[in-house]
Amino acid sequence: MANVRARIELMVGQKSNIPAEMLSFEGLETEKEHVAVIFNQADKHQSTPLVRMHSECLTGDVFHSSRCDCGEQLEETINRMSESGGIILYLRQEGRGIGLYNKLDAYELQSQGMNTYEANNHLGFGDDLRDFKEAAQMLEALNISKIKLVTNNPKKIKDIQNYGIDIDEVVNTHAHVKQGNEHYLHSKAAHGHKLNFDK
């Protein structure tokens, strides 16, 4: 059973001017250092908070890589939650679960013409190795069983429901198209992600 280990206040966002709280946990099976970032004390004041399960992406979140849209999705969510409140579950599942070094190997294959899924498959991995059981445990530790889920990914919807979390609404992020990630985004759309390229 997961429990909250510590809760601290901090400022987040690209300009670091948005107040939030960061929570650490204990009792997670993998012992990965997942954290929750909570805006406007949504876990205490909202019965159905806005939640995003965001998997760590060093290249996108930190270095703003042109290869993906992860950093843009994270920043969009932070800005949305700064107004409405909400919870980001930041999960240490780099590269859809294959790890950073393998993701960089996949990038090299993508440079040779493969899409993101083909590259992972060529390296011997499935399309998406992430598991959201511990995300559900983190929500349970916060006494949250019903959420509005921020995602474009049908796997996240299915998985978190299978772990007993009720989804009241699915809120899509924008399609953050930029030079270098068009093929990546269209590959995700072909795998069922709900992306509106007209926005």
Give the residue ranges of the annotated binding site.
52-57, 68, 70, 73, 94-96, 116, 151, 156
**Is 159 among the catalytic positions?**
no
Residues 6+ apart with CB under 8 A from 22: 7, 8, 10, 35, 36, 37, 38
- Please enumerate, by residue number, every residue annotated as part of a binding site for Zn(2+): 57, 68, 70
Give Dmax (Cα) for the chain.
49
> Which of 78, 105, 67, 61 lies closest to 22 in space, CA to CA?
78
Residue type, 102: N
Phi and psi (nearest 5°) for 48?
A: -135, 80
- Please enumerate, by residue number, every residue annotated as part of a binding site for GTP: 52-56, 73, 94-96, 116, 151, 156
**How many whole angstroms separate alpha carbon 23 and alpha carbon 20?**
10
Q: Which residues pair with 100 in a beta bridge?
A: none
**Is 92 among the catalytic positions?**
no
Q: Given 43, 61, 69, 128, which residue is catalytic? A: 128
Q: Given 105, 130, 131, 159, which residue is catalytic? A: 130
By annotation, the residues acting in catalysis are 128, 130
